[in-house]
Amino acid sequence: MKNTFAKISPFQVDPEKIMETFDIRDDDFSSASSQEKESMVEMHKSISFWQDAWRRFRANTVSMVALFVFLLCLFFAFIGPKFIPYTYGDQYRTAQKLGPFEYSKSEDIVRSIQDSADAFYATALRPGSLTAISKGSYYIQYGGKTYAFTMKKGAEKCILLLKQNDPEPLQLVSEKDIKDGAYTKYTAIEFTDTPEEDAKELKLIKRVFPHVFGTDSQGRDIMARTMYGARVSIIIGIMAALIVLIIGSIYGAISGLCGGVVDFVMMRIVELIYSVPEVLIVLLLQVVLKEPLQAWFQAHSATSAFVKAMSDLGAGIVSIFITFAVLYWVTMARIIRGQVLQLKKQEYVTAATALGASNARIIRKHLLPNCIGPLVITTCLQIPSAIFLESFLSFLGLGVSAPMASLGSLCSDALETISLYPYRLVFPAIVLTIIVLTLNLVGDGLRDALDPRLKK
Amino acid sequence: MGTYILKRIIGSILILLLIMVVTFMLMNAIPGSPFLTEKSTPEQIAMAEAKYGLDKPLYVQLWNYIKNYLHGDLGTSLKMQEGTPVKNIIFHQGKFALSIKLGLLALLVAVCLGIPLGCLAAFYRGSWLDGLLRVVTTIGVAIPTFVLAALLLVVFSVKLKWMPTLSGSLTDAKSYILPVISLSSYYTCYIAKLMRTSMLDAINQDYIRTARAKGVKTKALVLKHALRNSLIPVVTYLGPVTAGIITGSFVVESTFSVPGLGKYFVQCVMSRDYPVIMATTVVLSALVIFAMLVVDIAYKIVDPRITLTTKED
Amino acid sequence: MEENKLLLKVKDLKVSFFTPAGEVKAVDGISYSLGYNEVMGIVGESGSGKSVEAYSIIGLLQNPGRVIGGSIEFEGENLLDYTPEQMRQFRGNKVSMIFQNPMTCLNPVYTIGNQLTEALTCHDKTISKEDARKKAIEMLELVGINNAEKRMNQYPHEFSGGMRQRAMIAMALICSPKLLIADEPTTALDVTIQAQILELMKDLQRKENTSIIFITHNLGVVADICDRISVMYAGRIVEQGKVNDIFYDPQHPYTRRLLQSIPRLDEEDDERLIPIEGTPIDLLNPPQGCNFGPRCTECMKICLRQKPPFAQVGEGHISACWLHFKDALEKEGEK
């Protein structure tokens, strides 16, 4: 057929007009080389599943912020205690029932004089190991110099001051005398330059750290306790999630892979556990396990490092782990079984089997990588639910025991005095909520990033 | 349908029996005797144990429990005023009724509030309303029940004095408000989130496109075509909700001093009142199992694809 | 074809999807017209924009897709000027659509009867329940479903795939629309069922005097049923003509390659299937020149620089390729 250019609107093109409307060059109708053709095609870089998932997770602002905040919480819980001078167990006798950012009387005294001193050591402030400096030799290293001194008897209720540019840099001041920064020197001190061999080192406090969250009725710093509690809660959450992950995924995988009678029996067991109202059993378990566990700790902690580690955690926490190992893996098992069953039917698994791949290879190369998404998501979302359960048990007085603290037990303690000191509840509750919230959001983000169903 | 329900009821009774056995073993594993006090001598303890049959072999004790339960006899309390029948404590003193009232109200609030909120969020996806609801529900599922209960108590009862501090036996409507809010908030938020996701999922389904191509109105599209499909995951979730509300009631009842079953259960476990532990566990378990059964039947009503005789995961 | 006899006139339609990665020109200026009682096939590989184009006619484009230019005239009225409510009344009544996967296109929780009568009642408020039911049963019988009365009360999961597609067709035709858009209606079905459904559609088209836009990636399917065919590639029509022109005298290199890649029983044995090399272009970064250029074996330098205009290559047969202009220029040179 001839190529003609008849007039038909709107597709009409006049042959003469081609030259006018289009920019036609001399060599335009010679064939293009394959390089020229390729240069026109922009190829997407191929990226791996994890790169792709990470890219999508990064694009999710909410999840990224949540991840950042959760990392802050981790910092708060694990590294935070290094930055504050208080510990979770120490009871600061003069500093009971303080509100947020309040100072005890003795701390106030120290604060009132700290302008004139470079550093100080308040003997009466800290009822811990260094409470009363007894007679003996001490040294302080400060500003590149070593100040060594011998403490005479009876200087317990004193404040040790360090004034670098003073002819007598090291001074002992009576606590009673200090009023509005004016104080009299107390001379029960002998000052030398070189420390004696058995001299103990004293750490000077450079400034008084406020009780940011206040203190409780026993004079314990609530921020230190919240940090510690957050640490305990996070550890419990992660450990419990790992226990659930291991038991649930192995159980689910076996059930899904074996199929048949094995699957039937295993799934009936899962259904049974599923229909038991777990909290009732958990409560009973908690009470039941406490004393046998303590007896077990006492008997074996000397010989076994594992038991020692467990006993450090305490019976309450270990029985929470046991509870999770007994009751809470069923959801994970169901998810993994479903995933395995679904994957078993996939054509590529059939193809691999047809090509003679061994079962181990199929599990390693096909099933495992495809299960990792749901595994990661479920584990991540298991952590907050474990933290929830722990705090619930601690709230009922069954979880961790004093002087250890978890966020749940802190809330529970605070509840007794809630009408007088509401902030004691507020701080641990906020930290608990933030941890659970951010973990939920991170989990959601992971699901969006890893779930191939949403992938376009 | 009939045979299915019958089968399920038989299954439920078996599960209850199993729970009885487990509970029995667990509570007997609690160290110490229920009659152990600072003053009591070994002879007194032995006498008291003999009186309540605690000296008999364990399997006899267990068999007695099962036998009595089949006759509707829940035994007598070991602690409360010399042999008060457990049945009286649970049912006649209103503990059971209180817990049920609280739980049902909370469930009702969670469903009646959660589903519409989820629908609204899905329908106005991307709007400020959706954003607000997402923030609220996300925070809602991150606040533990006891924290919320305590905060509500402080703000509304202690500081503002709008509500009574002790809800007590829930005699007036006002005393219900705070316990029900604290108990239902988590589930309201969770259901709203679930509903939003499943509604969005349903809206993107092919059958919605078909309905749109037919010229169905937007309202009918959402209320008829999307709603019923998106209810399926929510109905599935109602089983765990029932169990969860009982958990929550332990906390809420102790925070608001409501003398319900949940609060009582914790006390009994602590004081080793065996017959009461057993009775409470069985009653609460029966409740949960019954709720699961109701959910499975509701499932059939919502989704015609489910046939109740062959159940699959 | 006379202007006033046209049912549908699509003019320079442009549809873009605004994704976070950038604008995707899914449909980049296509024009065609459809007469009453005519069957037009739109053929192209997946992602060529054929479904998007159909969705914009029936107003089913979802975010982030938007019509950004052109017009769609249906019996002289521009559909793009319709309000959402007008559009709703138009859908299902004047034009209806059937979809690819009959397994997922029916609502699983309502009976077939419920969904069929709904199509009627949402356009005709006055119709009584019994009348609607009668009409629905009639339609089910028309599409060859036995026991229609009983089938009305069944749920979609109780139907087989072919039966569901029949039900979908019944639902689409229940308001006697003037235009039926069939988006790959046979792709998800078994081959034997495919043939049955095609036969049924041909049959119904004749009986009901409906125009059809038949969208498919399978040239073999449209041969039988269509009057005219538009071949689409990457959001543009590359060739359009009567069914015989396209099959026996394809002009555009893409159409030719497409025809070479379908198995044919009537050719000699040594005729091998030739796949089209390369992958479809990335619509996020469309090439400057002809979209098919990078995959075309006859690609010229100009093809990489400029998009080709349409050339009339026969009566009612147009093709957009620079080769035609090369031929024309050469001929002019001979003169």
pLDDT 10s digits, A18-67:
666 666 666 666 776 666 666 656 555 666 777 777 888 888 888 899 99
Q: CB distance C326–A12 less than 8 Å? A: no
**C20 in contact with B, Cβ within 8 Å:** no
Question: HSE (CB half, 13 Å, CA atoms) of A385?
Answer: 16
Say yes or no to pLDDT of B170 above 70.
no
pLDDT confidence of residue B110? 92
Residue C76 pLDDT exceeds 90: no
- The answer to whether the CB atoms of A8 and C312 lie below 8 A apart is yes
| One-letter-per-residue 3-state SS of A272-294 | HHHHCCHHHHHHHHHHHHHHHHH
Measure Cα distances from B118 to A151, A447, B223, B227, B289 in Å.
71, 20, 13, 10, 27
CA angle B10, B12, B14 (to 5 degrees): 75
Region of poorest pLDDT, from A141-145, A178-182, C310-314: A178-182
- Answer yes or no: do C304 and A28 touch at CB < 8 A: no
Class of residue A204 by CB neighbours under 10 A (exposed 0-12, middle 13-18, buried 19+): middle
CB contact under 8 A, C107 and B207: yes
CB pairs under 8 A between A and B: 121
What's the sign of the alpha-carbon dihedral B243, B245, B250, B253? negative
Q: Please give the pLDDT value at position C265.
A: 60
pLDDT at B309 over 70: no
Where residue A72 falls among pLDDT bands split at 50, 70, 90? very high
A 10 A CB-CB count for C334 gives 6
Q: What is the pLDDT of residue A70?
A: 92
Position A313, amino acid: L
Whole-number average pLDDT of chain C:
81
Tokens of A397: 């007085």
DSSP designation for A145: E
**A3 confidence band (pLDDT: 50, 70, 90):** very low
Nearest CB partner across the interface for B142, out of A275, A422, A436: A436
| Residue numbers in A near B144 (CB within 8 A) | 388, 391-392, 395, 408, 411, 429, 432-433, 436
pLDDT value of position B202: 85
Return d(Cα A415, Cα A429) in angstroms, integer.
Answer: 11
pLDDT at A142 over 80: no
- Subunit contact C324:A3, Cβ cutoff 8 A: yes
Report the residue of chain C nearest A31, measured CA to CA: C300
Per-residue tokens: B141: 């599922």
User: In a 3-state reduction of DSSP, which class is residue C159?
Assistant: coil
Q: Distance (Å, rounded) from C-alpha B121 to C-alpha B129?
A: 7
How confident is the model over B9-22, as a mean pLDDT? 85
Q: How far is C266 from chain B (nearest CA, A)?
A: 38
Structural element, H or E, at residue C30: strand C22-35
What pLDDT is stored for residue A40 in this prediction? 59
Q: What is the pLDDT of residue A28?
A: 67
Report domain extents, chain B: 95-259
User: In percent, how much of chain C has pLDDT > 70?
Assistant: 93
Whether B35 has a pLDDT exceeding 70, the answer reads no
Which among A277, A278, A287 has the least Cβ separation from residue B30?
Answer: A287
**Which range scores top for mean pLDDT: A430-439, B289-298, C96-105?**
A430-439
Q: Touching check for C125 and chain B: CB below 8 Å?
A: no
pLDDT at res. A180: 55
Residue C129 has pLDDT above 80, yes or no: yes
Q: Which of C58, C99, C155 shows the shortest C-beta gap to B206?
A: C99
Residue C186 — pLDDT band, cuts 50, 70, 90?
A: confident
Say which residues have a Cβ less than 8 Å from residue C282's Cβ, sequence separation at least 6.
Answer: A41, A42, A44
Cβ of C328 within 8 Å of Cβ of A32? The answer is: no
**CB within 8 Å: C155 and B304:** yes
B273 torsion bin: left (phi>0), alpha (psi -120 to 50), beta (else): beta
Global pTM value: 0.79
Q: How confident is the model at residue C71 (pLDDT cuts 50, 70, 90)?
A: confident
Indicate the Cα dihedral angle B230, B232, B238, B241, nearest 10°.
Answer: -50
What residues in A contact C31, CB-CB < 8 Å? Answer: 10-11
Question: What pLDDT band is residue A266 in, cutting at 50, 70 and 90?
Answer: confident
Residue B188 pLDDT class (50, 70, 90 cuts) = very high
- Facing A41 at nearest CB: one of C281, C314, C322: C281
A98: left (phi over 0), alpha (psi -120 to 50) or beta: beta
For chain A, report the end-to-end CA distance as a whole number of angstroms.
Answer: 44
Candidate from A285, A411, A437 with C-beta closest to B147:
A411
Res B192: pLDDT:
92
Q: What percent of chain A has pLDDT over 70?
A: 68
pLDDT at B228 over 50: yes
Report the alpha-carbon distance of residue A450 to residue A238 in Å, rounded: 20
- CATH 1.10.3720.10 for the B95-259 domain, yes or no: yes
A432 chain-B contacts, CB cut-off 8 A: 144, 147
pLDDT score for B168: 63
A418 touches chain B (CB under 8 A): yes
C-alpha span between A69 and A418 (Å, rounded):
28
Average pLDDT over residues B228-234: 85
Residue B114's pLDDT is 92
Range A63-90 average pLDDT = 84
Q: Which residues of B touch C171 (CB under 8 A)?
A: 210, 214
Residues 6+ apart with CB under 8 A from B94: B169, B259
Which residue of B130, B205, B207, B210 to mutate against C (max C Cβ within 10 Å)? B210
Please answer whether residues B91 and B100 qualify as being in contact, where contact means their C-beta atoms are separated by less than 8 angstroms: no
Question: Taking CB atoms and an 8 Å limit, are A395 and B15 in contact across chains?
Answer: no
Identify all chain A residues contacting B19, using CB atoms and an 8 Å cutoff.
Answer: 276, 281
The rounded distance, in Å, linking the Cα atoms of A168 and A184 is: 14
State the Cα angle at B265 between B261 and B266, rounded to 5°.
Answer: 130
pLDDT greater than 70 at residue C63:
yes
Look at residue A68 and tell me whether its pLDDT is greater than 90: yes
What phi and psi, each to the nearest 5 degrees, are found at residue C30?
-115, 150
Pairing of strands C39-43, C228-233: parallel
- Helix axes of B95-123 and B227-255: crossing angle, nearest 10 degrees: 140
Chains in touch with B (3+ beta-carbon pairs under 8 Å) read A, C
Task: Give the one of B218, B225, B302 whose C-beta lies nearest to C107's C-beta.
Answer: B225
pLDDT score of A158: 66
Check CB contact under 8 Å for B144 and A408.
Answer: yes
Average pLDDT over residues B175-198: 89
SS3 A106: helix
pLDDT of B226 above 80: yes
Nearest CB neighbour to C294, from listed A8, A23, A40: A40
Per-residue confidence band for B116, with pLDDT thresholds at 50, 70 and 90: very high
> B153 contacts in A (CB within 8 Å)?
418
- Number of other CB atoms surrounding residue A374 within 10 Å: 18
Tell me the mean pLDDT in the region B105-134.
Answer: 89
Residue-level pLDDT at A2: 35
Instruction: Give C307→chain B minimum CA distance, Å.
Output: 35
C-alpha C325/C-alpha A13 separation (Å) is: 10
Q: Is A170 helix (H, G, I), strand (E, B) or coil?
A: strand
In this predicted structure, what is the pLDDT of residue B191?
92
CB contact under 8 A, A291 and B31: yes
- By CB neighbour count within 10 A (0-12 exposed, 13-18 middle, 19+ buried), where does C326 fall? middle
Q: Of the candidates C281, C265, C314, which has an alpha carbon nearest to the alpha carbon of residue C48? A: C281
**C67, pLDDT greater than 70:** yes
Residue A69 contacts B, CB cutoff 8 Å: no
How much is the mean pLDDT over chain A?
75
pLDDT in tens, B208-221: 888 888 888 888 88
Q: Give me the percent of chain B exceeding a pLDDT of 90.
A: 8
Q: Stretch A137-163: mean pLDDT, rounded?
A: 70
- A447 has a chain B CB within 8 A of its CB: no
Going from the C-alpha of C30 to that of each of A231, A385, A417, C268, C310, the distances in angstroms are: 63, 55, 74, 37, 11
Instruction: Sort out which chain B residues have CB atoms less than 8 A from C122's CB and list them.
Output: 214-217, 220
How far is CA C221 from each of CA A13, A379, B208, rounded to the nearest angstrom? Answer: 32, 49, 27
* Count of Cβ atoms closer than 10 Å to residue A226 Cβ: 26
Q: Report the side by side order of strands in the sheet with C65-74.
A: C22-35, C6-19, C65-74, C77-78
Give me the residues of A, 7-26, that contact C with CB < 8 A. Answer: 8, 10-13, 15, 18, 22-25
**Band (B117; pLDDT cuts 50, 70, 90):** very high
Q: Is the pLDDT of residue B182 over 60?
A: yes
Instruction: Identify the band that residue C1 occupies on the pLDDT scale cut at 50, 70 and 90.
Output: very low
| Contacts (Cβ under 8 Å, ≥6 apart) of B163 | B156, B157, B174, B175, B177, B178
Find the largest Cα–Cα distance for chain A: 121
Dist CA B280 CA C248 (whole Å): 84
Which of C109, C112, C155 should we substitute to test contact with B (largest number of B Cβ atoms within 10 Å)? C109
Alpha-carbon span A18 to A22, nearest angstrom: 6
Helix (H) or strand (E) holding B245: helix B227-255
